[in-house]
Structure 1
Amino acid sequence: MTTRIETPEQLTALLGEPLPRARDKVRPALHELDREWLAASPFCLVATSAADGSCDVSPKGDPPGFVRVLDDTTVAVPERLGNKRADGYRNVLSNPHVGLISIVPGRGDTLRINGRAHLVGDAPWFDDMVVKGHRPVLALVVEVDEAFHHCAKAFMRSRLWHPETWDPMAVGSRPQIAKALERPEDSIEELERYYGTQYSTGLY
């Protein structure tokens, strides 16, 4: 029989109360160590939710420091060329609440930022976000409500940074997935060319 958990009291009874150091670590502004973390991070996840509750989590990546600190309570995430779906950005237009998880390769701990966001099509600081001669298409500006560091247990359990556990061919290749689910009219040869050198040279 499946036992559903439907109240905060049931959840607390199962998990217990957080230790004070975990409960109280949330900060309303960035610390200098948070700035250093963002300067070293080339990758983050952006979680959004539309007004109707539908959700999206989108990966963002660029050279380290791409998430720009505008001040102690504001960061900006640049947007580059993509598939133009803009699921998360459409969510922000109806619900500004977002969550970020910033990752430094090889580190198990992460920096989490929760706040309210808006979109900008240009700003003076776009000049500082130029990569290979290209300015961002737009930027997600996040006003920080909460910032805190998260422990490494998930990365340790998954052994994510252990190369000996990696098996990238355990699932179909990107061309094979595209052929089956997205572009059945294209040949595998065409898709392999597209997702090879052509794909990597068109990042910006």
Structure 2
Amino acid sequence: MTVEITSHEELRELLGAPMPRAITKERTVLHERDRQWLAASPFCLIATAGSDGSCDVSPKGDPPGFAVVLDEATIAIPERPGNRRADGYRNILDNPHVGLLFMIPGRTDTLRINGRARLVREAAYFDDMVVKGHRPILAVEVAVEQIFYHCAKAFLRSELWRPETWQPEVMPPRPRLIKEVEAPAETLADLERRYGPAYLDTLYRG
């Protein structure tokens, strides 16, 4: 039998009250340690939601420090060439609320930033976002509304950073996966060429 939770009161009764520090750790401006974290982070996840409530989470990665700190309560994340679906960007145009999760490889804690985003197609700081000669064509500016560090339990439970637990071979290589799931009409040889060593050449050009 499935028993659904349908109210805030029921949820709180089940989980219990949060620890006081879980509430008081929230901040609205960047601490110097936050700036250091952002300078060291090469990867983040951006969560967005459309006006109809549909959600998206998009990974963003670049050399450490790719998220530029504009002031004590504003950061910017560059766009890089991708699949051009722009699901998250279209959501931001409809609903500016975003959630960010910044990671540092090997660290089991994370930095969370929630705020309001806007899309910017040109700004002076774009010059600080150039990587391998590529200047972004847009950036996501986020006005910080909440910032705090998240505990390590999820990463410890999953053993995410322990190489001895990694099993990338449990799934077929990407070319075979694409052929089976997305593009059965393409030949495996063509897909292997596309996603082989030459794929690295597409990281900073469309």
- In the TM superposition, structure 1's runs of 4+ consecutive aligned residues that sit over 6 Å from their partners are none
Q: How many residues align?
A: 204
2:8 is aligned to 8
Greater shift, 185-194 or 71-80, is seen at 185-194
Quote the Cα distance in structure 1 between the aligned partners of 2:87 and 2:137. 15
Letter in 2 for 1:61: G
1:58 is aligned to 58
Quote the Cα distance in structure 2 between the aligned partners of 1:181 and 1:142. 35
1:171 is aligned to 171
1:82 deviates by 0.6
Quote the Cα distance in structure 2 between the aligned partners of 1:73 and 1:159. 33
Letter in 1 for 2:41: S
Quote the Cα distance in structure 2 between the aligned partners of 1:122 and 1:194. 32
Letter in 2 for 1:42: P
Question: Deviation digits for residues 72-124 of structure 1, max 9, x if unmatched?
Answer: 11000100111100000000000000000000000000000000000011110
Consecutive unaligned residues of structure 2, counting only runs of 5 or more, are none
Quote the Cα distance in structure 2 between the aligned partners of 1:177 and 1:30. 41
CA-atom RMSD, angstroms? 0.7
1:75 is aligned to 75
Contact 1:42–1:66 (Cα < 8 Å) also in 2: yes
Quote the Cα distance in structure 1 between the aligned partners of 2:94 and 2:115. 15
1:137 deviates by 2.1
Quote the Cα distance in structure 2 between the aligned partners of 1:122 and 1:177. 37
1:172 deviates by 1.8
Letter in 2 for 1:154: A
Quote the Cα distance in structure 2 between the aligned partners of 1:160 and 1:144. 28
Consecutive unaligned residues of structure 1, counting only runs of 5 or more, are none
Question: Deviation digits for residues 153-189 of structure 1, max 9, x if unmatched?
Answer: 0000000000011010101211111101222221111
Quote the Cα distance in structure 2 between the aligned partners of 1:56 and 1:180. 24
Contact 1:28–1:146 (Cα < 8 Å) also in 2: yes
1:19-58 equivalences in 2 (<5 Å): 19-58=19-58
2:202 is aligned to 202
SS at match of 2:198: helix
1:142 is aligned to 142
SS at match of 2:196: helix
Letter in 2 for 1:108: T
Q: What's the TM-score once normalised by structure 1's chain length?
A: 0.98
1:201 deviates by 1.5
The answer to whether residue 185 in structure 2 is matched with residue 188 in structure 1 is no
2:95 is aligned to 95
Contact 1:76–1:141 (Cα < 8 Å) also in 2: yes
Contact 1:26–1:148 (Cα < 8 Å) also in 2: yes
Contact 1:81–1:137 (Cα < 8 Å) also in 2: no
The answer to whether residue 118 in structure 2 is matched with residue 118 in structure 1 is yes
Letter in 1 for 2:157: R
Quote the Cα distance in structure 2 between the aligned partners of 1:4 and 1:29. 37
1:152 is aligned to 152
Quote the Cα distance in structure 1 between the aligned partners of 2:136 and 2:155. 31
Q: What's the TM-score once normalised by structure 2's chain length?
A: 0.98
Identity %, equivalent residues: 63
Quote the Cα distance in structure 2 between the aligned partners of 1:57 and 1:37. 21
Letter in 2 for 1:113: I
